[in-house]
Amino acid sequence: MGTSLPLEIILEVGGGLGLFLLGMKNMSEGMQAAAGNRLRAMIGAVTGNRFTACLIGFLVTCLIQSSSVTTVMLVGFANAGLMTLAQAIGVILGADIGTTVTGWILVLEIGKYGLPLLGFSAFFFLFSKNDKTRSTALLIMGLGMVFFGLELMKEGFRPLRDMPEFLAWFSKFTPNTYWGVLKCALAGAGITAIVQSSSATVGITMGLASAGIINFETSVALVLGQNIGTTITAFLASIGTGRAAKRVAYAHILIKIIGVILTTACFPFYIQLIRHMLVLDPDFSVMVDGELKYLTIVKGIAIAHTTFNVLLVVLFLPFTRMLANLLTRWMPDSVADETPHLTYLDVRMLDTPSLGLEQSRHELLFMAESVKKMMGQLRNALFAEKPDEELNRRIFHREEILDNVQKEITEFLGGLLSGNVTHDVVNEARWQVRMADEYESISDYIAGILKMQIKLRNNKLLPSPEGQEELLQLHDLTTEYLDFIAAALLSRSDIHSEAITRSDELTARAKEFRSRHLERLAAGKISPLVSLILPDMLSAYRRIKDHAFNIAEVLAGEK
């Protein structure tokens, strides 16, 4: 019996923990699917206002049920230059409060209904064909897994109360002294760093406490440490990134460490504050059917967890810019230390499809901006008095970059679609793949025009002055059309009807220039050799316009 009991405890607690983690994942996916594009809109609404950033961090983390994923996303956005450090710090503070919602979900005394919730919602998830119904069922199924997993952990921990060896070992982690508080906090930080989920370790702590194995003070000290341990995910995500991303990760770590140091320094007063806030049942225990049960200790842990993170907001939110400046001085930008990155797509975002789509959308905006730069460089290269080899090299190099960016976007979105996603996410991902392909094709045609220009120059051939002027006019009109499409992509606007009108006008001008070119050829004003290349250049601009129009059709949902 002595050897089978520990194994039985391990199996039951391990099974409960696995079910708990899977439930958290399903609950997160269900919430994200139900939220739809609202989640992406929240991220896009982050401004320089620290209070707005904090609120958005709170709401986003409530939806995805993971502050770690939120901070990983912030690391990626900072690395791509899409978010300032001060903005990221505001979002982090809000995310830290948002992650405490999980604890409050566990406070609900419906653990015994976990299995029925799981079972009945599974039928709707398996047999319904409606996306909203399936998303809601997945959310409820995840919630049932969380509660049932916690119940399994509670029952698994219960025999530990009768094991003197375990109680003797655990007595070393009682927060009777300042060193004892620190040991508990370090233990909580270490376990959370390994599991990489503060929600899971908070759930384990609640299970131990509700089984009467650890007291309230120990629970709170463990939770304080778990707040530090949860920063490990963002730290790992920042490895190999630029200084901007590292500052975000270090800001999260610094905020948590300072908060824990201050709280542990006045730990007895903090415990008294939580007890006063709880009001009822300060001993957390009550006799039920002759058995001592700890019914309110879970609520006390949730209050302690939330209060700590609210205090962090009160302490740091007024000084986000000051903290950002301090970290920037501590870690100044250094070109030599930066590792160049092709894209900032993070595979960890595959677990949060809505945020993953937002990341890949920013890469599409990068492609749009790159194409704009290529058009500007190409104009400088066309008919220049002297060839600029360095300028030509930059255009060809950027075309190669966009080839690889398109490949990475396609692979990233392919991985995203392999998960459990809604039809809206599938459609958006397919549209983004299509737009990445269109932008890559545009870059190919830009490089192709440059190759034709080099061929003309190498053969010492130039179009007539009129032909040069017309080609530059067509170039400028095409550039304006690309800028028009890029602005629509940025604002998510439907500009289909206007895109048709502009496209037709651009096609008419290209045909007009081609007719004039043929007239000059017939009049003997240009070399026949020029006529072999110039029409192809005119055709290439029309193809660029066609690919840009395809992007407008995608934005309108036409393709």
DSSP 8-state symbol, 176? T
Has residue 454 been placed in a domain? yes
CA torsion 546-365-32-100 (nearest 10°) is: 180
- Give the C-alpha separation, 464 to 448, whole Å: 21
Has residue 43 been placed in a domain? no
pLDDT value for 419: 67
pLDDT value for 44: 62
CA torsion 107-113-119-120 (nearest 10°) is: -100
Q: 48 phi and psi, to 5 degrees?
A: -75, -10
Residues 18 and 93 in one domain: no
Taking each helix axis from N to C terminus, what angle separates 320-330 and 85-98, rounded to the nearest 10 degrees?
120
Residues 13 and 92 in one domain: no
284 band by pLDDT with thresholds 50, 70 and 90:
low
**Among the three residues 301, 336, 371, which one is the final residue of a domain in this structure?**
336
Residues 148 and 178 in one domain: no
| Assessment of whether the complete model's pTM goes beyond 0.85 | no
Q: What is the CATH number of the domain that holds 511?
A: 1.20.58.220
pLDDT at 68 over 80: no
**Among the three residues 315, 336, 357, which one is the final residue of a domain in this structure?**
336
Q: Which two tokens stand for residue 390?
A: 């360095």
Residues 304 and 430 in one domain: no
Has residue 130 been placed in a domain? yes
| 3-state secondary structure (DSSP) of residue 48 | coil
How far from 132 is each of 22, 421, 424, CA to CA, in Å?
20, 11, 11
**String of DSSP letters for 317-368:** GGGHHHHHHHHHHHS---GGGPPP-S----GGGGGSHHHHHHHHHHHHHHHH
More confident position, 285 or 477: 477
pLDDT at 1 over 50: no
- Domain range enclosing 462: 347-555
| Average of per-residue pLDDT values in the chain | 81
**Among the three residues 278, 308, 336, which one is the final residue of a domain in this structure?**
336
pLDDT value for 334: 61
Burial 83-106 (b: 16+ CB within 10 A, else e): bbbbbbbbbbbbbbbbbbbbbebb
CA torsion 12-13-18-20 (nearest 10°) is: 110
pLDDT value for 306: 92
pLDDT value for 286: 47
Q: Beta strand pairing status for 286-288 and 291-293? A: antiparallel
Are the beta carbons of 409 and 343 closer than 8 angstroms? yes
- Give the C-alpha separation, 402 to 189, whole Å: 42
- Give the C-alpha separation, 393 to 400, whole Å: 11
Residues 52 and 196 in one domain: yes
| Arithmetic mean of pLDDT, 269-274 | 88
357 band by pLDDT with thresholds 50, 70 and 90:
confident
| 3-state secondary structure (DSSP) of residue 226 | helix
Residues 177 and 191 in one domain: yes
Q: Cβ contacts of residue 494 below 8 Å, gap of 6+?
A: 488, 555, 556, 557
Has residue 40 been placed in a domain? no
Residues 278 and 144 in one domain: no
Q: Please report which helix (H) or strand (E) contains residue 288, including its range.
A: strand 286-288
pLDDT value for 162: 61
Residues 389 and 260 in one domain: no
Poorest-pLDDT segment among 10-14, 192-196, 243-247, 527-531: 527-531
Residues 156 and 189 in one domain: no
- Express each pLDDT in 114-133 by its tens digit: 888 888 888 888 888 887 78
Are the beta carbons of 277 and 307 closer than 8 angstroms? yes
More confident position, 80 or 521: 521
- Give the C-alpha separation, 17 to 191, whole Å: 13
Helical segments of 45-174, H only: 50-64, 67-79, 85-98, 101-107, 114-127, 131-157, 164-170
Has residue 389 been placed in a domain? yes
Are the beta carbons of 242 and 82 closer than 8 angstroms? no
pLDDT value for 19: 84
Contacts made by residues 8-11, CB under 8 angstroms, sequence distance 24+: 8/156, 8/159, 9/156, 9/157, 9/159, 9/160, 11/156
Q: Within 13 A of 465's CA, how many CA atoms are on the CB side?
A: 0
- Give the C-alpha separation, 369 to 377, whole Å: 12
Residues 265 and 148 in one domain: no
pLDDT value for 194: 80
Residues 330 and 355 in one domain: no
Q: How many helices (H) and strands (E) does the chain have?
A: 23, 2
Q: Which residue in 363, 305, 347, 380 sits closest to 489, CA to CA?
A: 363
| Arithmetic mean of pLDDT, 290-318 | 82
Residues 145 and 18 in one domain: yes
Q: 463 phi and psi, to 5 degrees?
A: -65, 165
pLDDT value for 337: 46
Has residue 330 been placed in a domain? yes
What percent of the chain clears pLDDT 90, i.e. is strictly above it?
Answer: 25
pLDDT value for 52: 86
Compute CA 167 distance to the chain's CA centroid, rounded to the nearest angstrom.
Answer: 42
100 band by pLDDT with thresholds 50, 70 and 90:
confident
pLDDT at 282 over 80: no
Count of structural domains within the chain = 3
DSSP 8-state symbol, 161? G
Has residue 514 been placed in a domain? yes
More confident position, 532 or 319: 319
| Arithmetic mean of pLDDT, 443-470 | 85
pLDDT value for 7: 77
Has residue 42 been placed in a domain? no
pLDDT value for 308: 94
